[in-house]
Amino acid sequence: MSWNPHGWAGHPTSPYGNPGGYIPAGFQPNPQVWYPPTGNAVPSSPPANNQQRSAKYPSLNPILAEDTTLLRFDLKMKPSLAIMTSVYYSHRPMIVFAKQTQKMRLISKSFPWTIDIESLSPVTVEDVWEAMYGALQQPIMESEWGFIVRDGKKRKEIEGTMKKRLTADPNTDKRALRIDYLGETTLFRGMEKDDEFAKAALLPGAKSWLETWVIKLIS
């Protein structure tokens, strides 16, 4: 599916410019940190509330990289509710990549769907959070359910998850949702690069995307 973000339409002059924002515990200014370019110029020093760059994925914002992020949030909930307020508002306008990028694809070893993010402006952290949540709130299609029912264990797991969801909120969608497919494995753990898995997951004949990232989930 393709996700078209409708929120924040760009990035501020100082992407990390909220002086009252979240500062990771034990943070010490470090010249070896990740920070995106400001316009056409590179900042002379890292902002005060930056995080250390990812050793594995230095071009990826560290709030998303699996080896640096301390963020865990439940994809069953809207990001604005699931993420601590200070973390959410200080990180959501940050751009995802050091090189401004308007397209990225998200896949996962925990679910079979592809989430494509396309924006007229550089993709932001908020775009990624909202895309993951929005995509998993979509109902499971009848054709998809036809494959799921072949696995009795998975079907029971989905039906059990649906029952819990409806018990917690009777006004929620009565259909089977993609988030139900995940069972209890709904905590965001970060993103990683796995080109071999991305190649295997690509539909034959479909065009690959350069920025294809794997979402890691835990229970």
| β-pairing verdict for 2-3 and 115-118 | parallel
pLDDT in tens, 164-211: 999 999 999 999 999 999 999 999 999 999 999 999 999 999 999 999
Tell me, what's the pLDDT at 42?
31
Q: Which residues lie across from 47 on neighbouring strands?
A: none
Report the alpha-carbon distance of residue 109 to residue 214 in Å, rounded: 7
SS3 155: helix
Q: Where are the beta strands (DSSP E) in the chain?
A: 2-3, 73-74, 103-108, 115-118, 187-192, 212-218
Report the alpha-carbon distance of residue 125 to residue 92 in Å, rounded: 5
Q: Are 61 and 70 in contact (CB under 8 A)?
A: no
Q: Are 132 and 95 in contact (CB under 8 A)?
A: no
* pTM given for the model: 0.79
